[in-house]
Structure 1
Amino acid sequence: MTLGRLIIYTRKMDEMAEFYATHFGYQIRRDPADRITELAPQAGGAALLLHPAGKAQKMGQVLVKLVFDVADVPARRAALMAAGIEVGPLLDGGGYAFANLKDPSGNSVQISARAFRSPG
């Protein structure tokens, strides 16, 4: 059994789809008969499903953080910042680099080299 999909509730469907497609390599898949927009990963990993948020749902709660494995965090951070995205400082996780940011709906996102760190 593997984790195949994550649902993200949002009021910014188009902006969110473009954000993850442009900056994290997802392919946007829309079906006119379905209100969910599927974002398919191009390099493996879980798909993201964008679901229209209900009126009572609060955007940007920090109960879950999406973490993207990136071998060169400083380079990816620089590219995101060059694209106008606010990214926090480059941090040391004890042998690997990471940085935090928010998506257009205020959800927590991290780029991290943890998956590429040396054992020990």
Structure 2
Amino acid sequence: MTVADIIKLLNATVICGEEYVQREVHNACGSDMMSDVLAYVKDQSVLLTGLVNPQVIRTADMMDMVCVVFVRGKEPDAAMIELANERHLVLLKTDCRMFSACGILYSSGLSGGTD
């Protein structure tokens, strides 16, 4: 699956990083707790979250993720977008709730990774 596929599946809007939407992704996670992402996430390419602060971008960058999807229509501010651009991350937003977005991606073949 590519980031472009995620955009279609979630009816998402690209906030930044449009030049990277053909990147392949194999795993995803959904969390609003960045400490859990840092502690438990391994090899995920996509982060789904409702949390909108710079720590989300820093966490995604540290975990070598390629895409962050903001659920529930949340939008990052200009500083977050600038930080994501510097780190070559794709930022998306969708009106889907976290549970629905994760379910749509999982049922379309995107894995949650291994435990």
Q: Give your verdict on TM over 0.5.
A: no
When normalised by structure 1's length, the TM-score is 0.27
Work out which of the two has the higher radius of gyration on C-alpha atoms and give 1 or 2: 1
Greater length-normalized contact order (CA 8 Å, ≥ 6 residues apart): 2
**Structure (1 or 2) with the greater helix fraction:** 2
